[in-house]
Chains A and B, each alone.
Chain A
């Protein structure tokens, strides 16, 4: 569960989001959307602990501060658009790095850790790729492995920055379906940023729409959501 309390975010004097409140609940898939430069990534990175906000509070599972990066990493996992291509690194080892908050000083995996890694690979449908090295895989496959790594981190909350951006249409839909299942079947709080409105509207439970400087929380089951989103994006209809 992620709560934004009265937060403001932006660069310098320019406030992209002002005095916004929002609640991202467990078992829901929320798509954070808005125009380019509206502050989607800024907000997401602030929640992940990678950036700062100008004012207000962000509470992750009720906690506004964490004792250490390790503690935060047990609550919240993050997947960004950065392409990770490490030669000589097998998928299984990469997903194993997700266990970092739980392993000893050298990062050795226990039997339980290994089981979690295998389960994460199976969840994203990449078990067969476990022995492959990352430099021999496509963008879609790498993206899935990075999501498996976030799953191995075993956090109640997962953030994804533009997860669909390098993928073709079938892969985008598959990915959204996967994330929806994770939210609904495993009770995770999933928040992703995207500017692909169609996909967001069809797959997410809630749209978090940045209409500068407001942050609107719109359930996709609500019939007015479509029109509101279209208006903010300056479209005649969707």
Chain B
């Protein structure tokens, strides 16, 4: 997910190598002849892509990496010159800007153009517009549309699953066969999904370790690195299984020793506040943003953002014996495809389960799929759990919308508010 090293833990090194190897593999497709599928993180059915021996590319991840590498501002401006308005999602503009500037990815390698645009539509309308734009940039490339029904009725019905399986069979798989030149091999997919299932279990166990006090990990700022492999094309791979086993082992060692989370400046000595955060982080000032929290002894014990690539809290796991149904249900179970009541329930469970002292929203200027309903979510949690809540605003990758002093001022007030309430409840 990122070339930034937050610690010298072995898992971190493995993770970096994984990402680098995918980037190398992608830059070699001309020689190897492997086909490239552009798709999205929410509802990212990379198992299917892998089953056809193709490689996934995630424009969102390219955008966030550009943000972290301080390249997004130019890319966004270039996209705006093309006519994209100020209010368009900055992931889209950053991505478009990167493509028109030679499509050079994080490792310095050129990201190959797509052979297939797999539009998994999970709760974000912008995804459709995004791929319409890509379609104009790559007019010869076919688009496979996978429409994910929103969980408006609070649950996934058999009809919804059937609807999705039908799309996989009649739309996605035939296009993948055609592009890759390979036949759909269900046994191969089942094999891959077996590994996915193990990975999903491990991920849930890892994020569950924040039950410990102190929490051994930061489930947001470090969490975004932890979800890197599954959100970046490694679902269902042996590398992912190995990585998550290693990571889990390391975290358990931290629990054993009673250690707090690792920050870019070392182990957090004193855990003062435990928070649950809703919304993606800001990427352009990721380190500064994180520092504002760890400097004040705040650790994030759960975040909705680390669930965009899959929600496992309520027991969902892929079933290798029902491969297409599993993929369908996985997509429908993404965080941004949950209705607002389900999001409130999920966050509420996290706050209780992980003993959070407060709840905070990072509202993203350009992200509608996250921002819609955030105030309502916040109010409901405040009323239901009587916990302190806070609201800050920034953006994904547009540095023009990150105001350090405004955020710092609000966070200081928020943490002092938590402190005051703690003092009072201790009395």
- The answer on A and B forming one complex is no
